[in-house]
Chains A and B, each alone.
Chain A
Amino acid sequence: MSTSTSTSAKLAKKDNDVPPSNENTLSRRGFFTKMGILFNGLVATALAVPIVQFLLSSITRGRNAYLAWVPLGPVSAFPEGETRLATFRNPYVMPTDGKTVDTACWVRRVTGDQFQVFAINCAHLGCPVRWFPQSGLFMCPCHGGAYYRDGSRASGPPERGLFEYPNKVENGLITIQAGELPTPGAVAALTGEKPPCVS
């Protein structure tokens, strides 16, 4: 209580100290100071636009690349009824990316030209899942998520099945639409309506 009264008393005292003339009249010097601040504000705002644009550009970076169809190899390399590891180079590459743009995925040839291509990342927290053909399970080494051969959830912490890349067979090649790290939150927006990883 005592502190608040003393502060208000101080404030009142301060108000009394200031001559009233200074509040209403604008001196030449004061005007230029205000204009100077305004000018700096304008420059800062103008500069903020490209800075923010630069910073946010990573959200849209490589977006066009998602639409590209990435070949995984000839259909004949994937025996029917089996699941094999395939690797592809991310369609969006920067010169300093090194090996990080090489990505692995699991390719399951169901029958004929019917494929399922699963992301390597566990739908729980993104660790690399491994395929065990003997028990027909994908297992995650991190927190023990497990998936059946069709990618559906079998057990463990994942709330959903494995992420799947859209795929099609073209000229005897199996191709997928990839280019983005699949994450469990919201599936990424490819065209705004069709997510690249359909559950």
Chain B
Amino acid sequence: MRIMIGKIGQWFDRRLQLAAPIREAVEHPVPRNTASWWYVFGSAALTVFLLQLVTGILLALIYVPSASEAWSSLQSLNHDVTLGWFIRAMHGWGSNFMVAIVLIHMVQVFLFGAYKFPRELTWIIGVFLLLMTLGMAFSGQVLRFDQDAYWGLGIGASIASRVPILGPAIVKLMLGGPIIAGATLSRFFALHVFVIPGLLIAFVGLHVLMVLKLGINEWPMPGRIVKRATYESEYHALTKKDGAPFFPYAVWKDLFFAAFVILAVAACALYFGPFGPTGQPDPTIIQTVPKPDYFFLWLYALLSLLPPSLETPALLIGPVVVILGLLLLPFLSGEGEKSWRRRPIAVLTVLLIAIMLGTFTHLAGFTPWSPHMNAWSGDPVPARFIHGTTALERQGALVFQVKQCRNCHSLGDVGGQRGPTLDSVAVRLTQDQLIRQVIQGGGNMPAYGKNLSPAETTALVAFLETLHPVGQRPARDASRDVVAGNEKRPGGQQ
């Protein structure tokens, strides 16, 4: 039997002549200390990518890329097709894992100085791979053709339209016409299924080839400086002196982690299930609060927190600066220290970006900047704010609800958080200031002068004046007392 297999193998290899180069590739010597758990993320990213290819092809067996059919084909995947929900869930969770693992891989490569000479091009191709991964994430979200996808495309179009001069043309190229419709879904399908995956496969091939040709980055040692003139000979000396064949010396950790990642994706898919689809992509249903998938939540937060005047420049210039910075990084610091122990700025940069993205993502989880559209009719004024109030003040509480103040202002931690919470507003603002704020607005609040009768304003302000903690007096305009002659002037100036 063995001899038979050996003969068949020889028959093929005589024609393919691949055995020798493959053996050379898998047995190439790697520095011993790179057989570390820190070095498994690249192969894990590749593993998840292969998983995405397989689950993607399986989904394409049922999915219909047509604006009129896509949503219902997703429904049949979820509910009718045997295990369709599981394949959808695997693909959805796989995309989350892929973005996360690619980012972790990138951070590891950055902190280990692996982008330095002679691996600059490996890094640059890696940057393109990151962009393509994000492109796959966004286009995949569009293929889940639901309300979030529809309005998410609108947001994409609104951002693209801000490009000077070419904006409107770019929007129509992106949408495949004047509106978000059938052609839009078809072109995102082409991008998600043909264009980007094709490029990804080619670039992943180059990326891996370069890792094989140039050798895996050695474990960085503080004080071991990269110099263009000597690095390559030093690296070869290292692999000769302290090297081991990649297979089987280092590969087992990659294998274990790859299996673990796939298991984790499957576990998430089983436990949490597929993503959506949410409501039908029917633009006449406007009772919707669109939200991007988790890898773009930080952008969602950023877009609501930036001052309006900075938004367009930040949207148009920001990505260019970031991408150029990533591409130029290996040229700006192609030599020198690799170890993160001697690169405090690199470590701080990673921490800063991680904290920024984490904070924005966290904020986007509860969107304090969005009005709660149903708070005015859904969240009653807590009883303790009404207790012991006069008829006028209660009327004011009614005005407070009916005029949708509650959509942006919370009382007792319930309601919108767009504006400040009003639990103790009377301590902050005097009666005059309250009236002015209600009627004229300002500080990001609309003016209500035209929508409140004088009687309603009086009642509303009377209610707002009751909003102060027990034992703390409401703010008062001191000059009033002086004018009324009730109180002495401060500072003894008579």
Residues of chain A within 8 A (CB-CB) of B441 are 154-155
A64: min CB distance to chain B, Å: 11
Say whether A166 faces chain B, with CB atoms less than 8 Å apart.
Answer: no
Residues of chain B within 8 A (CB-CB) of A97 are 67-68, 181-182
In the complex, residue of chain A having the shortest beta-carbon distance to the beta carbon of B407: A139
Q: A154 touching B168 by the CB < 8 A rule? A: no
Q: A183 touching B178 by the CB < 8 A rule? A: no
Say whether A71 faces chain B, with CB atoms less than 8 Å apart.
Answer: no
Q: B158 touching A183 by the CB < 8 A rule? A: yes
Residues of chain A within 8 A (CB-CB) of B67 are 96-100
Chain A interface, number of residues (Cβ within 8 angstroms)? 64
Q: B371 touching A141 by the CB < 8 A rule? A: yes
Q: B178 touching A66 by the CB < 8 A rule? A: yes
In the complex, residue of chain A having the shortest beta-carbon distance to the beta carbon of B451: A136
Chain B interface, number of residues (Cβ within 8 angstroms)? 72
Q: B171 touching A183 by the CB < 8 A rule? A: yes
Question: Whole-angstrom distance between the alpha carbons of A186 and B311 in the complex?
Answer: 15
From residue 125 to 158 of chain A, which have CB atoms closer than 8 A to chain B?
125-130, 132, 134-137, 139-144, 146, 148, 154-158
Say whether B176 faces chain A, with CB atoms less than 8 Å apart.
Answer: yes
Which of B155, B176, B181, B403 has the most chain A CB atoms inside 10 A of its CB? B181
Q: A125 touching B448 by the CB < 8 A rule? A: no
Residues of chain B within 8 A (CB-CB) of A183 are 157-158, 160-161, 167-168, 171
Question: Whole-angstrom distance between the alpha carbons of A127 and B285 in the complex?
Answer: 12
Say whether A159 faces chain B, with CB atoms less than 8 Å apart.
Answer: yes
If over half of B's interface residues share one DSSP class (helix, strand or loop), that class is named, otherwise mixed; here it is loop
Residues of chain A within 8 A (CB-CB) of B459 are none
Segment from B20-28, B286-294, B327-335 that makes contact with A: B286-294
Residues of chain A within 8 A (CB-CB) of B168 are 183, 185-186, 188-189
If over half of A's interface residues share one DSSP class (helix, strand or loop), that class is named, otherwise mixed; here it is loop
Say whether B179 faces chain A, with CB atoms less than 8 Å apart.
Answer: yes
From residue 266 to 291 of chain B, which have CB atoms closer than 8 A to chain A?
280-284, 286-290
Question: Whole-angstrom distance between the alpha carbons of A58 and B283 in the complex?
Answer: 21
Q: A135 touching B448 by the CB < 8 A rule? A: yes
From residue 399 to 432 of chain B, which have CB atoms closer than 8 A to chain A?
402-405, 407-408, 418
B222: min CB distance to chain A, Å: 27
In the complex, residue of chain B having the shortest beta-carbon distance to the beta carbon of A179: B178
Q: A104 touching B286 by the CB < 8 A rule? A: yes
A77: min CB distance to chain B, Å: 16
Question: Whole-angstrom distance between the alpha carbons of A134 and B192 in the complex?
Answer: 45
- Given known pairs A3-B229, A97-B182, the reply for A87 and B284 (CB within 8 Å) is yes
Say whether B180 faces chain A, with CB atoms less than 8 Å apart.
Answer: yes
Partner of B283, one of A94, A99, A124, A184: A99
From residue 152 to 199 of chain A, which have CB atoms closer than 8 A to chain B?
154-159, 179-181, 183-186, 188-189
Partner of B286, one of A85, A136, A146: A85
In the complex, residue of chain B having the shortest beta-carbon distance to the beta carbon of A184: B158
In the complex, residue of chain A having the shortest beta-carbon distance to the beta carbon of B418: A144
Say whether B159 faces chain A, with CB atoms less than 8 Å apart.
Answer: yes
Q: A143 touching B173 by the CB < 8 A rule? A: no
Question: Whole-angstrom distance between the alpha carbons of A4 and B279 in the complex?
Answer: 62
Residues of chain A within 8 A (CB-CB) of B370 are 141-144
Q: A96-B66, A99-B281, A125-B154 are in contact. List 5 more A-B contacts (CB 8 A).
A: A98-B281, A100-B179, A128-B286, A141-B290, A179-B179
27 CB contacts below 8 A, A to B, read: A66-B178, A90-B181, A96-B186, A97-B68, A98-B69, A98-B182, A99-B68, A100-B184, A100-B282, A125-B155, A125-B159, A126-B154, A128-B151, A128-B283, A130-B286, A134-B451, A135-B403, A141-B371, A157-B303, A157-B311, A159-B308, A179-B178, A183-B168, A184-B161, A185-B167, A186-B168, A188-B178
- Seen from chain B, the residues whose Cβ lies within 8 Å of a Cβ on chain A are 66-69, 150-151, 154-155, 157-163, 165, 167-169, 171-173, 175-184, 186, 228-229, 280-284, 286-290, 300, 303-304, 306, 308-309, 311, 369-371, 373, 376, 402-405, 407-408, 418, 441, 444-448, 450-451
